[in-house]
Structure formats: C-alpha cells, structure tokens
Chain A
Amino acid sequence: MTRRILFVNPFYAPEWTDELKQYLDDHKNSDTETAVAMLERGPRHVEFHYYESLVGQDVLTMVKQGEKAGFDGAVIGCFYDPFLREAREICDRMVVTALEEASLQLAASLGANFSIISVRQKCTPAFRENVQKYGMSHRLASFRHLNLTVEDLKNNRKLTEERMEAAIAAAVQKDGAEVVILGCSMMLGFYRLMQEKYGVPVIDPILAGFKQAEHLVEVREQCGWYTSKAAHYETPPLEDIKAWHLSTAYGLPDIW
C-alpha cells in the first residue's frame, strides 16, 4: 500500500523545495510518495520565537489541508518542532512528526546519550525545553554550537563542515556523546561524511522525522496505534470553531 507523506516547511524558502523533495525521494521506502508544502509568505528562517509565532497559522493550515487531501503523514520540517502539539491536536487520522522529537527518540535507541549540534546559542533554550518535554533530559550529553548563521549553512559549505567537525569532535571526545544529532533542517546532507569520520551515528533530522512518519503510518495501519485523544491532543470542537467564525476571522481556507 502506498503511503503519502507531506513535508511541511515552516519558513519561506521556495528555492529550496526541489532540493528537499529530491532528498526525501532519495531516502524513501519504495511504496512511499512524498510532497513538499512550502510557506507562501513570512520569515526566511525561524530562529526567533517571534517568527515561529507568525508562521503558526499557515503551518497548521497546511497540515490540516494535507489531512483533507488524503496524506497519511506530515513532517514539520524544523528542529524547534514548531506546532507539533497543535498539529496532532487538530488531526483525526493523519500522523504528524517533527524533527527534534524523532531525532531524540532515535538517538536514545542508538546510544546511551547524545549531543545536539545547533546553529547558534540562541536556539539552545528552546531545544532544551523540548528535550525535557520529550522525556529525554537524562540522555542529553551536551549542546555544541556552530556559531554560524542560517545563511552560512546554505552558502558556505566549507566553513560549515569545518565548524561541524570541531563541534562533533568536542561532543564525542570531551562530552562523551555516543550519538550526535544535527540540530537544523538546513544541515541536510552532512551526516554521512561526519559519521564516517567520527565512527558514531550522526543523525540527520530531516531523515529522522521522515522515517518516523513512515513508521508511524505503518503502525497506525497495522496495529491501530494513533495519537491519544484523551486530553492533551483532544481536538477542538467543530461547533466552537464555527460559532466563533474562526475561519472568517483569520482568513483561513476551507479546512474546517
């Protein structure tokens, strides 16, 4: 059976769509179909909490549209896991994953502990909150920063590689990390070279999120395991959404 997975990119980077799609297709299972949904407006990255707040509505609309269009799973493509909780809340059937949760769970299976390589120090408080939220605080060896901008990651591959090597060497040799997680979707493509060089698993977050989506779709289909709707992920009542005219108020397309 074909599984359809939607990669939701939560910042505005239309020039990146084809590369992302290709990257997913290179790593998909044979019966998976992929699509990339790109924001049509907004910030070029979500390094600041404010930007994340601005993109929320569009991200959730893309997720709900994906569910309505018959996708089996969606991956929210940012290591902050923006709106993962909300997306699971508003979906009834579609599986939703995000990069940090997927990476941490995989890392915790592959080693006793892990380090996260982040772009800048700015990101680490939010990442650390997620580590706790996902129940993984005791497995975190360290954070190491590249001290680069997102622009550098895109345009300066050599500098990125140098900084990444230094950060990973420190994580493995000084902090005792057994697994390394690359903490940004824009670090795609570096994992293989790094893990060959340092001999520990280096997790590419896009692939971790994507493969987890395939896996969760499979267990949903085969075993009926899906997001619990008991409390935390309980879906808002449609009557309220209608009665408060939320679609008109926020200019939403026909998703409710």
Chain B
Amino acid sequence: MTKKILFIQPTATPDWIPDLQAYLDNGKDADTQVDVVCLERGPKHLEYHYYEALIAGDVLHLVKKAEKDGYDGAMIACFDDPCVRESKEICDHLVVTGLAESSMHLAATLGDRFSIINARRKCEGSFRENAYRYGVIDKLASIRNLELGVHDFQSKQELTEQRMEEEIKAAIYEDGAEVICLGCTMMFGFYKKMQEKYGVPVIDAMLVGLKYTEHLITLRDAFNWYPSKIGNFETPPIEDVDGWNLETAYGYPKVW
C-alpha cells in the first residue's frame, strides 16, 4: 500500500523545492509518495525563535489539512522541530515527525554518544532543550557550530565541507562522539562523503526524517501504535475550537 507523506518546509523558500523533492525521491521506498511544500509567506530561515513563533499557525494548518486530505505522514523539515509537539496533539491518525527527534533517536541507537553539527551558536540552546525533551540528553557529546548560515550550505559547498570536516573531527576526537548528526535540513548531501572519511555514521537529517516517517506509518498500520492521547498529546476539544471561533479569529481555512 502506498504511503503518502507531506514534507513541510517551514520557510518561504519555494526555490528550494525542486532540490528537496529530488533528494527525497531518491531516498524513499518504492511504495512511498512524497510531496514537498513550503510556506506561502514568512521568513526564509528559522534561526531566530521569533520567526518560529510567526510561522506556527501556517505550519499547523498545513499539517491538519494534510490529515484531512488523506496523507499518512507529515515531516516538519527543520532541526529545531518546530510545531512537532503541537502537531501530534492536533492529529488523530496522521504520523508527524521532526528531523531532530528522528536524528537523535537513531544516533542514540547507533553509538554511545553523538554530536550535532550546527549552523550557528545561536541555535545551540534550543537543540539542547530538544535533546532533553527526547530523553537523550545524556547521549549528547557536544554541539559543534560551523558559524555559517542556513543559506550558505548549498551555495558555498566547498567552504561548508571544509568547516564540516574541522568540526566533525573535533567532535569525534575531542568530544568523544561516536555518531554525528548534521543539524540542518540544508546540510543535505554531505553525509556520505563525511562518513566515508571519518568512519562513523553521519546522519542526514532529511533522510532520517523520511525513513522514520515511513517506519512509524508501518507501525501504525500494522499494530495501531500511535501517539498517546493521555496527557501531553491530548487533542483540544472541537467544541472549544469551534465555540471560540478560532479559525475565523486567525483567518485560517476550515481544517478542523
């Protein structure tokens, strides 16, 4: 049975779509269909917390609409995992994954400790909070910063590669990392060369997110394992969402 996955790029970057689509199509299972979308308005990267707060409504409504449209899974394509918790809360059967959660859980299985290669120091604080949230904080050896922007990785590949090599080497030999996570969607494509060079698994965020989504869809369909609706992911009561006219108040189409 075909698995339909929506890949949500939570930034207003339509020019990225063809490359992302090709990369995912190359990595997917034969019976998976991936559709890539990005936001119609807003910031061009999410390095600042403020930008993340601005995009939340648009991302969540794309997620909820994907569920209504019959998708099996949605991936939110940013290593900060924006709106992942909220998405699990508002969905009833759609599988939702984030890149950091997928990367860190795999990394924790593949080695004793892992390091995250990050764009700029700015993001470190929230990455560490996510490592805690996902229960793997004790497995985090270090966060290493390239001090390059999200838009640099694909446009300045040579520089990115050079900085990546320096920081991966330091993570392995100074910080004791056994696995490396590349901590940004736009670091796609570098992992193979890096892991051949350093002999440890180097996890590509987009690919691990895709594989984890396929995996969770399989588990949902085969065993009915789905986010617990007791506590953290309990869905808001539809009477309140409707009673308070939230969709009108925030100008969103009917998705509930």
Which residues does A use to contact B, with CB under 8 Å?
A: 12, 41-44, 48-54, 56-57, 60, 83, 85-86, 89-90, 121-122, 124-126, 129, 132-133, 230-232, 234-236, 240, 244, 246, 249-250
CA distance A124 to B246 in the complex (A): 25
Least CB distance from A136 to B in Å reads: 12
Contact residues in B for A89 (Cβ distance below 8 Å): 48-50
Contact residues in B for A53 (Cβ distance below 8 Å): 56-57, 60, 83, 86
Segment with Cβ contacts to A, from B26-34, B200-208, B231-239:
B231-239
Least CB distance from B109 to A in Å reads: 23
Nearest chain B residue, comparing its CB with the CB of A126:
B232
CA distance A167 to B42 in the complex (A): 45
Query: Given contacts A122-B232, A129-B132, A231-B124, are A244 and B44 in contact (CB under 8 A)?
Result: yes
CA distance A43 to B85 in the complex (A): 18
The answer on a CB contact under 8 Å between A244 and B122 is: no
CA distance A42 to B244 in the complex (A): 7
Contact residues in A for B240 (Cβ distance below 8 Å): 43-44
The answer on a CB contact under 8 Å between B132 and A56 is: no
Q: Among B42, B53, B85, B121, which residue has its beta carbon within 8 angstroms of that of A49?
A: B85
Contact residues in B for A49 (Cβ distance below 8 Å): 85-86, 89
Render B53-71 as a binary contact track against A, CB cut-off 8 A, 1 for contact: 1101100100000000000
Query: Given contacts A60-B50, A231-B125, are A50 and B89 in contact (CB under 8 A)?
Result: yes
Q: Among B52, B132, B235, which residue has its beta carbon within 8 angstroms of that of A132?
A: B132
Is B225 in the interface zone, CB < 8 Å from A? no
Contact residues in A for B232 (Cβ distance below 8 Å): 122, 125-126
Q: How many A-B residue pairs have CB under 8 A?
A: 103
Least CB distance from A29 to B in Å reads: 31
Contact residues in B for A250 (Cβ distance below 8 Å): 41-42, 54
Contact residues in B for A125 (Cβ distance below 8 Å): 231-232
Nearest chain B residue, comparing its CB with the CB of A59:
B53
Least CB distance from B166 to A in Å reads: 20
The dominant DSSP class at the B interface is helix
The answer on a CB contact under 8 Å between B121 and A231 is: yes
Query: Given contacts A60-B53, A234-B122, are A240 and B43 in contact (CB under 8 A)?
Result: yes
CA distance A216 to B125 in the complex (A): 22
Render B217-236 as a binary contact track against A, CB cut-off 8 A, 1 for contact: 00000000000001110111
Least CB distance from B82 to A in Å reads: 9
CA distance A244 to B48 in the complex (A): 14
Is B249 in the interface zone, CB < 8 Å from A? yes
Interface residues of B in 102-132 (CB under 8 A from A): 120-122, 124-126, 129, 132
The answer on a CB contact under 8 Å between A42 and B231 is: no
Least CB distance from B100 to A in Å reads: 14
Contact residues in A for B120 (Cβ distance below 8 Å): 231
The answer on a CB contact under 8 Å between B250 and A54 is: yes
Q: List 21 A-B pairs, Cβ < 8 Å.
A: A41-B249, A42-B249, A48-B236, A49-B86, A49-B89, A50-B236, A51-B246, A53-B83, A57-B54, A86-B50, A86-B53, A122-B231, A122-B232, A122-B234, A126-B232, A132-B129, A236-B50, A240-B43, A249-B12, A249-B41, A250-B41
